[in-house]
Structure 1
Amino acid sequence: MSQYQRLFLMVGGDMRHTPALERAAALAHATGAALHICAFIEEVDTLGVISGDEFLNQTREQDTRQWLADEATLLHDNGIRVSTDAILTRDLINAVLAQVKEIDPDLLIKDVQHEPAFKRLLFTPLDWQLLRECPCPLHLVSAMHCPLPRVVVAAVDPTHPEHPHDDLNEAVIQTASDLARQCNAELHLLHVCDSARTHMADFGAGTVTMPGFGRDVRKSIHKAFEHLAVRHGVPQERQHFLSAPITRSIADFVEHSRTDVLVMGNHPRKLLERLTGSTTEHLLDHTLCNVLAVKAVT
Structure 2
Amino acid sequence: MTTILILSDDTDGSADLVGQRLTERGHPPVLLDPGDFPLTHGLSATILDREGWKAEFGGLALDEVDAVYYRRPSVFAMPEGMSSADRDFAIGEARRAIGGLLASLPARRWVNRPEHNAATEYKPRQLHLAAASGLTVPPTYIGNNIDDAQKFATAFGPDLIAKTFQPRLVIEDDLPRATWTTAITAAQLADPSFAVTANLIQQRIDKDHEVRVTIAGNRAFAVRIDAHSEAARTDFRSDYDALTYTVIDVPPLIHQRLRAFMARLGLLFAAFDFAVTPGGEWVFFECNPNGQWGWLEDQTGAPISDAIASLLLSEA
Could you tell me the TM-score, scaled by structure 1's length? 0.31
Q: Indicate the structure with greater helix content.
A: 1
Q: Indicate the structure with greater strand content.
A: 2
